[in-house]
Structure 1
Amino acid sequence: MIKNILRIIVALVFLASGFVKAVDVVGFSFKLEEYFSPSVFNIPFLEKQALLLAVIVVAFELIFGFFLLLKSHLKFTLTALIALCVFFAFLTFYSAYFNVVTDCGCFGDALKMEPWQSFWKDIILLVALLILYFLYKNEFNNLEEKTNFKKYLSAFAFMTMVFVINWGITHEPVIDFRDYKIGTDLNVEKQKIAKNPSDFKTFYSLKNKKTGEILEVNQDDYVSDKKYWAEGSPWEIEEGKTTSKLTKQGYESEIAKFHPETADGVDLTEEILKAPKAILIFSYDPKNANINVLAQAEAKLSLQRDAYILGVSTSPTTFKTINNATMDGTAIKTIARSNPFVLTLKNGKIIDKRSAEDYIKQKK
């Protein structure tokens, strides 16, 4: 009884984790790109394969999570899930210990987890899987009952998985867990951020020239205590070791990074959010964007006479017939899963979002 309950709980965790990544597999691929980037594992050739690898990992989680739920191919299923947990535990430990990836993307945008939380989650799952392996080892060679119900359920689950993943790649996620979901009022979010900002403090690494002792002191304590800076003080600030740390977590929202700017550095945020209607076309990677799709989307946008039109990308020369603005590529990726992508706002509220290809096909 206990082992069945544990098996079902673990299976549901893998299915939940796989599902939230499946609905936004492009977003998960962005997270893998972070791991493959020069600042982390420095495997640049895998960055181009991030989407394919994301699909493989998501399918792996869903298929074997489903097998575990149905108690199917138990030995192979448990072995595969243990291997997956070891792999993820390594990634999350690395990102936590070296503080290189702040969110592993284990549960997509549905549930944000800090690196150490992700690591311990993987360890708990790994322990649970090892316990299940031990508890079920005497049943590994038992003949599995194959019923029509299992066959139909497996076929339905597989087709659902393919549909959800494909829809998220070619259109938008079936369920949107992001801060930029339809219905979000960016003006309201900006106000919440302003009312409850996060606080950061500067920390100095100080070294005592006489004793060699090293201290980390925050900016307030440093200024208030003369022993650290008065004439003749043995303490000196170590170059290159000054850090900024979060001391109070305020209201969190990716919308804090929404700051389209002109080539001259003029912030267009307020202008966009105050417009009765604004249609923005984004491209986080203009060099690899489909030129024909860009041209067709621009042509359609140019016909909009009652809206504020703007092209936002990482380059100030991406768009040829509409005004250009620039924004950080990572910030654009939190909004756009397609390259290019169209976002429609009404008085700062998101009323529509779709890939540029879908926007072109839209009749109205």
Structure 2
Amino acid sequence: MAAVFLFSGFVKANDPLGTVYKVQDYLDAWGAFSLSGGSFPYLASFLMAAFEFSIGVYLLFGIRRWATSILVLLFMSVMTPLTLWLAIANPISDCGCFGDAVVLTNWETFFKNLVLLAAAVCLFKWRRFIFKLVTTKVDWLISLYSIIFILFFTIFCYRYLPVFDFLPYHIGADIRKGMEIPEGEKPSVYETIFTYEKDGVKKDFTIDNYPGDSLWTFVDSHTVLKEKGYEPPIQDFALMSYEDGTNLTDEILADSQYVFLLVAPWLDRADDSSIDLINEIYDYSVEHDYRFLCVTSSTDEAISAWQENTGAEYPFALADEITLKSMVRYNPGLMLLKNGVVLNKWSANALPDEYQLNAPLDRLPLGEIQLKGVSRKLMEVTGSFLAPLAALTIIDLLWMKYRRRKEKKQKKVPDRADNGNPEE
């Protein structure tokens, strides 16, 4: 249970914006659109990561065993029926329990939660057997440190992109290969269902029996999966020129030169604190004959307002909103491509400046894939968490040992009563 909560909280902290998007999906499914567009999803994302990770630490170290077991049981008692509803109603594709690190279907999530609910009941019943790794007097220190660590890690990943990128547009990914279907594999077959109404009666049609009667009124449409097949990691990558509507996808992916993509799903909500630096990068790309595009799903009004407010002279392209949210977990973010391969990504808070872009990209480290291995990053993050924890534990043991020695010395104070000759 400790491992599950630690992993779940950590992957949410690693990709807080992804958790925000998932919370918004839930709120939209419940019709809470007013909450979906505000700050609530961000607050929920940060709190969920901190809560789950902290519960994992509490279980691992045996801290507050009674309260922790109660919280785990209550949490699973809420999540299990919620995931049953998800499995039956299927309002969203997956619950997002483990972010994009481990994607489960809604039914898989429900059965997983049934197992965890049973484990939570056992945990509550036999909570007195949970082993304590630290003394009671240092519980608060371990607890406080864990919360501070996960909050700082969440803020870091929010501002500077996830440390572990589980999305298909990670650094080193070949977008063209990600769109291909391997030889011998069959693609999934979908069918669009059109709902029409006539004389108060609603009826579903497909493209094969589309109603020819003009008295039918269109109501709704939805797509259903008819036959499950191979689904490539990247399915909706398509860029269309904002100026003339030209399809730029193949041209961008086949470009043997460097291509900068400024990814901004919503320009009206984009962080404009690095506008000057973005314009400098555009000037740099013009100077070295690199392509630069701002890719967005914004409206004409939002694009015009962005151009006016920022002095943007770069061209724009349109793309699917969900695709853009998967490309870079920031609004805006910058992506560097060459031959369709993702060489680097930055959030607006970590853009390269003039000191880093002081030569053509083929002569700079930025023009090559600079990628740490997963094992190395895992060791760094784990070490940054466990090393201070180990230090706190050792300090606690030394302090308790010192206190015991001091108490023993106080008990062995020699009797200073005068034992000399009474007459003297």
Judging changes above 3 Å, is the alpha-carbon distance between structure 1 residues 260 and 63 closer, same or farther for their aligned structure 2 residues? same
Letter in structure 2 aligned against 1:358:
A
Corresponding residue of 1:32: 23
- What is the CA deviation profile of residues 191-215 of structure 1, one whole-angstrom value per residue up to 9, with x for unaligned ones? 237965322245799xxxxxxxxx9
1:128-143 equivalence runs, <5 A: 128-136=119-127
Corresponding residue of 2:65: 74
Corresponding residue of 2:74: 83
Deviates more, 1:41-50 or 1:151-160: 151-160
Q: Does 1:303 align with 2:284?
A: yes
- What is the CA deviation profile of residues 10-31 of structure 1, one whole-angstrom value per residue up to 9, with x for unaligned ones? 1111111111111111111111
3-state DSSP class of the match of 1:164?
Answer: helix
d(CA) in 2 for partners of 1:345 and 1:242? 36
Letter in structure 2 aligned against 1:262:
S
Pairing partner for 1:363 from 343, 352, 356: 356
Deviates more, 1:190-199 or 1:113-122: 190-199
Judging changes above 3 Å, is the alpha-carbon distance between structure 1 residues 311 and 218 closer, same or farther for their aligned structure 2 residues? closer
> Quick check: 1:104–1:115 contact (8 Å CA) kept in 2?
yes
> Quick check: 2:159–2:349 contact (8 Å CA) kept in 1?
no
d(CA) in 2 for partners of 1:71 and 1:21? 23
Corresponding residue of 1:274: 254
Corresponding residue of 1:118: 109
Q: Does 1:176 align with 2:165?
A: yes
1:247-262 equivalence runs, <5 A: 247-253=227-233, 255-262=234-241
Pairing partner for 1:96 from 83, 87, 90: 87
d(CA) in 2 for partners of 1:164 and 1:282? 24
After superposition, the CA RMSD in angstroms is 3.5
Letter in structure 1 aligned against 2:169:
Y
Judging changes above 3 Å, is the alpha-carbon distance between structure 1 residues 170 and 217 closer, same or farther for their aligned structure 2 residues? closer
How far is 1:335 from its partner? Answer: 1.2
Identity of aligned pairs, percent? Answer: 26
> Quick check: 2:194–2:218 contact (8 Å CA) kept in 1?
no
d(CA) in 1 for partners of 2:236 and 2:346? 20
Letter in structure 2 aligned against 1:306:
D
> Quick check: 1:310–1:323 contact (8 Å CA) kept in 2?
yes
Length-normalised TM-score, structure 1:
0.79
d(CA) in 2 for partners of 1:345 and 1:355? 15
Letter in structure 1 aligned against 2:238:
H
Corresponding residue of 1:42: 32
Give the unaligned 5+ runs of structure 1: 1-9, 206-214, 224-228, 230-236
> Quick check: 2:331–2:347 contact (8 Å CA) kept in 1?
yes
How far is 1:101 from its partner? Answer: 1.1
d(CA) in 2 for partners of 1:36 and 1:143? 39
Corresponding residue of 2:385: none
Q: Does 1:199 align with 2:182?
A: no
> Quick check: 1:85–1:122 contact (8 Å CA) kept in 2?
yes
Judging changes above 3 Å, is the alpha-carbon distance between structure 1 residues 321 and 144 closer, same or farther for their aligned structure 2 residues? closer
> Quick check: 1:204–1:238 contact (8 Å CA) kept in 2?
no
Corresponding residue of 1:348: 340
d(CA) in 2 for partners of 1:250 and 1:294? 41
Corresponding residue of 1:51: 42
Corresponding residue of 1:288: 269
> Quick check: 1:344–1:350 contact (8 Å CA) kept in 2?
yes
3-state DSSP class of the match of 2:20?
Answer: helix
- What is the CA deviation profile of residues 164-223 of structure 1, one whole-angstrom value per residue up to 9, with x for unaligned ones? 212111101111111111000112112237965322245799xxxxxxxxx999989x89
> Quick check: 2:192–2:206 contact (8 Å CA) kept in 1?
yes
How far is 1:296 from its partner? Answer: 3.1
Letter in structure 2 aligned against 1:341:
G
Q: Does 1:333 align with 2:342?
A: no
d(CA) in 2 for partners of 1:291 and 1:172? 17
Give the unaligned 5+ runs of structure 2: 196-202, 358-424
How far is 1:47 from its partner? Answer: 3.8
3-state DSSP class of the match of 2:334?
Answer: strand
Deviates more, 1:273-282 or 1:153-162: 153-162
How far is 1:258 from its partner? Answer: 1.3
Judging changes above 3 Å, is the alpha-carbon distance between structure 1 residues 193 and 68 closer, same or farther for their aligned structure 2 residues? same
Letter in structure 2 aligned against 1:120:
F
Deviates more, 1:174-183 or 1:316-325: 316-325
- What is the CA deviation profile of residues 84-140 of structure 1, one whole-angstrom value per residue up to 9, with x for unaligned ones? 22333344233332221111111111111111221222222112101211122x569
How far is 1:148 from its partner? Answer: 8.5
3-state DSSP class of the match of 2:102?
Answer: coil
Q: Between Structure 1 and Structure 2, how many residues are aligned? A: 332
Judging changes above 3 Å, is the alpha-carbon distance between structure 1 residues 274 and 70 closer, same or farther for their aligned structure 2 residues? same
3-state DSSP class of the match of 2:232?
Answer: coil
How far is 1:71 from its partner? Answer: 1.8
> Quick check: 2:181–2:230 contact (8 Å CA) kept in 1?
no
How far is 1:151 from its partner? Answer: 7.4
